[in-house]
Each structure stands twice: as structure tokens, then as C-alpha cells.
Amino acid sequence: MSGSLHRRLRCCLLGIMTLLAMQFVILVLVVRLGLIDELISRRQQQLSLHQHEWQDFVTHTPDQPHAFYQYNRQLSDNLAAVRLLPTTRHESCNRRRYALPHASLAKLSVVISFHNEARSMLLRTILTLISRTPQEYLHELIVIDDGSEDVGLLASLERHLTAAYAERGRPRLIFSRNLNRKGLIWSRNEGARLASGHYLLFLDSHCEVNDGWLEPLLERLTLNSRLAVSPLLDPIEPETLSYMAGNELLKGGFDWSLHFHWLPRVLADKETLAQPYTSPVFAGGILMISRESFRKLHGFNPHLEIWGGESIELAIKLWLCGGQIEIVPCSRIGHIFRAAHAFEFPPQYDQEQELEQELQQLGSAQATYLRNSKIIAESWLDEYKYLFYALKPSAREIPLNLRPVSTYDPAQIKAELKCQPFDWLMRHVSPELRLQHANLSALGTLRNAGRCLHVAGTVPQLQLLLTSCHSLQVTQWHLHHESGQLSTEQRLCLAVDAAAKQPQLSLEPCRAGQTGQHWLRRNTQLQHARTHLCLDNPLKDQLLLSRCRPHAVSQSFQFALEMEAQS
């Protein structure tokens, strides 16, 4: 009898263990297959808009060619409003308990300005933000339409979102439309003026907010009110809309042309990939800052037109005037980095205004960006602005014609906030800038007989030619003091195969110790060190190597800026 009871108990125990094991396997499969996230995602969609309402809003998108949006609008229209996204941040971020202030002390105002954005992309940006942000912190959403061609978009968006979120009472929704195009910079300043939260988040209109994005940023701002923080941006591929993990080993920077560049992040001893780290500039136009700090900095420079340079100008101002910028890898937001502008820049100058030939050859987008860059150089670069003009000589002819703005005077801001000189930023924040010119003999455009040496095409179909010096895209060259290399900003070096029967010019990746890439500066000539031949342009736009001839005009190449006396 006892043996039979023992067998029954063993069978029961075995059955219970089997059931528990099956439940564990099912749980693992559910997690592994992302079904939990899928259920959460479905719940998020229910909290936003019903699917038929979402489709109704999207179907009224104007039919435009691909170049209008610079991403796959048709695919975007067919994706879910709030789709499942991969977890791209480090697993340690998920285990952390963030020290957050009470929601009543940390109200967040989000400013989204857009111009000619696809309805589905704009709505996805908004819905992922609302769905994946703790409700108690999301105080208000300010959406500004900067004169889009889809004139009914904003009213339709307001109607749908108000209906969806009226019962919740949060976030407060503010909608504004510029009847005429005023630009991203003006619109963001206007959004900040309308905001009433403790913190501002400036968000682009082609983003997807990932889970847990707010807490890491808010914790950093709570610890240091003078910080401005940026999430680590996960790239969204424009054609497939695939969401990919961003790179924790990159930070934002800029060069003497005042163009944004990614720079390598060097990990300090015992520093982990998930730790926040300082960055000279924030990327993608996405930044969170206290509203009070933004006010003290007088916002984005209102003298800048439309788009271009505003992130660099604000970053320089932040660093020089007592603030800091951090990228926080535990916070992730997806962002579409478009290959080109998806919008036109309005004409910058009167038709009757007489401009130099250089300006006449600039497009409106180029002229606007160059004008903005000149304003930044004149406002903040101090004695180093000559480096900007060396790389962008066309900027000298750009008329600023600054309209009076009583609340914005860089000199007054510097005095009011006791800002550091630009040299301080080079020493403490962006030493890469000092290195860029400390090791150079010459830099900038390379001119021969009124035309400039330019690299056209892409790898492997590169072409070396002489072209107009008036384009913003003309190649900028760097002649390195120690190596003698003549390189482009893309780290391509002008080289010669000295072993060939007839030495030929070529472009190849810059490599240390390559004798074929070594050039000597002889007055205004460029002499190849190994062959002792000079760069020559004997016929129009035909570059070759030939015997050096003193005073030969065809062998005279002038850099925009010579850093040392020519030998």
C-alpha cells in the first residue's frame, strides 16, 4: 500500500514539475519571440488611435515623388502607428533604477516643428512619444507646422489627437501653423516661448521614440541643471525603415567649415559603453534642456535663417557659457538621417541685389547655410574665424543684413553669462579642432589659374579635375606638415605610383609611411618627393606630373590659407 502511495506522489510531483517546465519554456519563447513586446505595442496602439482613424488620417497624404520626403513614404504609410522596436540599449540600462524627481517638479514640454513631413511619419513620431513616455511627466506637446504644402494636415492632426487623448487630459496639446515659411530655427524658438514645462525636448518630426527613453535623460538633468542632454540616436534606414542600433563609440563634433562630423569616443579607464559621456555637439537636432537654461542662453540664434548651423551655434554657446552637453546611451530615439534636404530654401536675397559671381552660383540652400555659418564664425570663433574664411572664401562676400533683434546680441550674452573665449573650447572640449590646424602646412581650396582642384564621383569611380571655385562642395585640401600628405576631408590622399613607367596621379586612402603620398611645398609648386616631378596643368583641366619649371603658371597652386612660409 505504501509503495502504491509513493508511486502516486511521485507521479503527481513529476506532473507538477513537467507543467512548471512547460510554462517556463512558453515564457522563454514568448520573451524570445518578442510576443510580450507585441502585446505591449498593441496596447499602446489602443491608447493612441484606432487603426481605422490612423488610416483615415494617412490616406489624405498628398501624392508626392520620392525626392519630396527623402524616405519611403509608401512603406511608412503601411506600417503600424506604434510598431515593435528592438531593444538597442545595453542590458545594464534595463536593470537600473533611475533617481527621478517628483513629476510635479519635472514637467516636460516637447516641441516638434515640421515642414512637408509625410503624415504617417509625423504621426508615428508623436504616437511613439506619447505611448513610450510616462504619462505623469509628459506635460504638453507643441506641434508647429512651418508652412507645409499639405495645408489640411495640422487641422486633421489636431482633430484626431484631441479625440484620442481628451479623456486622459494629458498631454496638453498645442498646435500652431506658420502661414509662410519661417524655418526650423524660428519655429523651435516659438515652441519654447509657448512652453510651460520645466524641461524642453526638441524633437525632429521623423523619429521613433524607444522604450525607457526619458528616465536616463531626466536623471542627468536632475543631477546637473546646467546640462543639455541628447539620447543616443538609432538610425532608421530611409528606404527600408529598418530600425538599427546606434553607435556608442561616436560623439558629435564640427570642423573649421562649421560642418557637423561624427568623432570617435575614447573610453576612459573603467568607463562602460552605457555611461553618459560629453560631446562637443548634439546630433540630429534632438536635445533636452531645462526651460530656464534655454531662456538664459536666449534660445537659438534668431539671426540664423530657416535651417543649418543652429545646433552647432547652441552647442558652442552652451559650452562657453557654463553649460555642458552629454549623450546618454541608455536613452534611445530612432531618427531618419536623410541623404538630402527634403525641402526648398526660400530665396535669400533680392533679385536686384548685385552679388559677386561666387554668390550667384550658390543655390538658395547653400547661400542660407553659408550665411548662417558666417554669423556663427563672427559671433563665436574670435581670432580663429580666419580658419573658417580660409575654408569658405565665398562667405566673405555674403552680406549678413542682420535684422534688429533686441533680445539677441552675442556680445551682450557673453558679458551677461561671463562666457569663455573660443580658445577655451579648443583646449577643454574639442581638442580635435586644435589638432586640425596645428599639424598642417596649408589648408583650404587649392587654386590654379582661377579654378580649383576637386575630387568628383565616389569610390571607386573617383575623378581628379579642376573646376569652379565657387561651389560649396569644392574639395578642401590639407597639406600635412610631418607626413607631407595632401589629403581631402574624406582622408583620401593625392598619390603617385613612382614605379610605373609613366607616373600617374591617383587618389587612395591615406596611410602612414607611404612615400607615394609625400609632397613638398616649393614656393607655390607642389613637388612629389620621390619622383621630383611637379603637379601641372599644361592644358585646360588636364592634371599631370611634369618636370618642375620655376615660375610656370601651370604649376602654381595656391591654398586658401598657408600656415607656414613656403620654401
What 8-state DSSP symbol labels residue 419? P
> Could you tell me which of 118, 96, 100 has the C-alpha nearest to residue 108?
100
DSSP 92-132: HHHH-------GGG--EEEEEEESS--HHHHHHHHHHHHHT
What 8-state DSSP symbol labels residue 183? B
DSSP 233-260: EEEE-TTT--B-PPPTTEEEEE-TT--E
- Give pLDDT tens digits for 364-375: 667 788 889 999
Q: Give me the residue label for grid cell 536632475.
A: 222
What 8-state DSSP symbol labels residue 553? G
- Mean pLDDT taken over the chain: 84
Domains and CATH numbers, the chain: 41-336 (3.90.550.10), 440-562 (2.80.10.50)
Q: For 350-381, give one letter per residue: b (16+ CB within 10 A) or e.
A: eeeeeeeebbebbeebbbbbbbbbbbbbebbb
Helices 119-131 & 35-47, crossing angle to 10 degrees? 110
> Could you tell me which of 300, 291, 296 has the C-alpha nearest to residue 196?
291
How many whole angstroms separate alpha carbon 148 and alpha carbon 270?
49
> Could you tell me which of 467, 484, 521, 439 has the C-alpha nearest to residue 535?
521
Other C-beta atoms lying within 10 Å of the C-beta of residue 542: 11
> Mind listing the pLDDT tens digit of every residue in the chain (567 residues)?
556 666 666 766 666 676 666 666 555 544 444 444 444 444 444 444 555 567 778 888 888 877 788 899 999 999 988 999 999 999 999 999 999 999 999 999 999 999 999 999 999 999 999 999 999 999 999 999 999 999 999 999 999 898 888 777 779 999 999 999 999 999 999 999 999 999 999 999 999 999 999 999 999 999 999 999 999 999 999 999 999 999 999 999 998 889 888 999 999 888 899 999 999 999 878 999 999 999 999 999 998 887 788 999 999 999 999 999 999 999 999 999 876 544 444 444 333 333 344 444 455 667 788 889 999 999 999 999 988 988 888 888 887 776 655 578 889 999 999 999 999 999 999 998 887 777 888 888 899 888 889 998 877 778 888 888 877 678 889 999 889 999 998 889 999 987 777 888 989 999 888 888 999 998 899 999 999 999 998 877 778 899 999 889 999 999 988 865 554
Q: How far is the CA of 392 from the CAs of 163, 444, 543, in angstroms?
A: 51, 8, 24
149 CA to centre of own chain: 25
Measure the CA angle with vertex 150, ends 146 and 155; round to 5°. 80
- For 412, the grid coordinates are 551682450
> Could you tell me which of 557, 537, 533, 530 has the C-alpha nearest to residue 547?
533
Q: Where are the alpha helices (DSSP H) in 178-250?
A: 184-194, 214-223
Is residue 559 within 8 Å of residue 442, measured between CB atoms? yes
Strand partners, 328: 231
Is residue 174 within 8 Å of residue 143, measured between CB atoms? yes
Measure the CA angle with vertex 410, ends 406 and 412; round to 5°. 70
pTM strictly above 0.85: no
User: How are beta strands 108-114 and 138-146 bridged, if at all?
Assistant: parallel
Single-letter code of the amino acid located at 372:
N
- Give pLDDT tens digits for 201-228: 999 999 999 999 999 999 999 999 999 9
